[in-house]
Amino acid sequence: MTHPWFAGASVPRVLAHRGLVTTDAASHGVVDNSFAAVAAAHAAGALYVESDCHLTKDGTVVLFHDEDLSRTVGDPRKVSDVTVRELEDLMSGRGGLITLEQALETFPDVRFNLDVKAAAAAEPVGHLVAPAAARVLLTSFSDARRLTALRAAAEAGATVRPATSAGRETIAKVLLAVSLHSRPLAERALRGVDALQIPERQGAVRVLSPRLIETAHRYGVEVHVWTVNDAADMRRLADIGCDGMVTDCADVALRILGPASL
């Protein structure tokens, strides 16, 4: 059965990468993963918002990409070294801090794609998303972190498990299966996975291929590509069968690929 996170929406899916920060917003100090960025993606018509989860010193899950604050607010400390109140103050002129709890409550019609960035955040993320599991996809570069979050969601009473995208270890197994033309290996690697979220290339290695897309689709798994900001690339990837694109330019992508439909 199709997970609710995927149901009723047009393909290819547009995933607003860390929300939406337009050039004008950036000139006014708004940063990615801020409250304003998520609100802008929603206002532009994005059904899907891709974001990242870290844990503050006092145990609050916040939408924040980097481990430290240097790029975003010019502070060298780690997210885990500051309290949520301190982070709210630091983000006050940059679009505003948004916690995971606030995101789920404030935007009830948004489907979140959440990357668990810190091991300490995995269980709290799972607990928080449990009531909203039908509109959450959990992922992480670490398969261990995403599986911990999935287990935590189940333990917290989620009536449906969140959707999930493969971590690096699983993706490596899929790529091996594709290179060996091994259906049994591919089937095992993709078991329990709803999507592969991958770059086209990783350094000199080409990750995305028609054969990978064909293999994923054979087992009911979608292929989403990150990070796609060029209009010609969006059209090209749609033409070869990609099911979703993570983009910093969700407003542009929605015009090119078509609005989300429900």
3, 42, 54, 65: which one is catalytic? 65
- 3-state SS, 179-208, equals HCCCHHHHHHHHCCCCEEEEECEECCEECC
- Note if 17 is an active site residue: yes
Give Cβ neighbours of residue 137 (< 8 Å, ≥ 6 apart).
Answer: 5, 111, 112, 113, 114, 162, 163, 164, 165, 194, 195
Burial 240-257 (b: 16+ CB within 10 A, else e): eebbbbbbbbbbbbbebb
The catalytically annotated residue of 17, 42, 54, 224 is 17
Distance separating alpha carbons of residues 17 and 38, to the nearest angstrom: 9
Residue 65 appears among annotated catalytic residues: yes
Catalytic residues: 17, 65
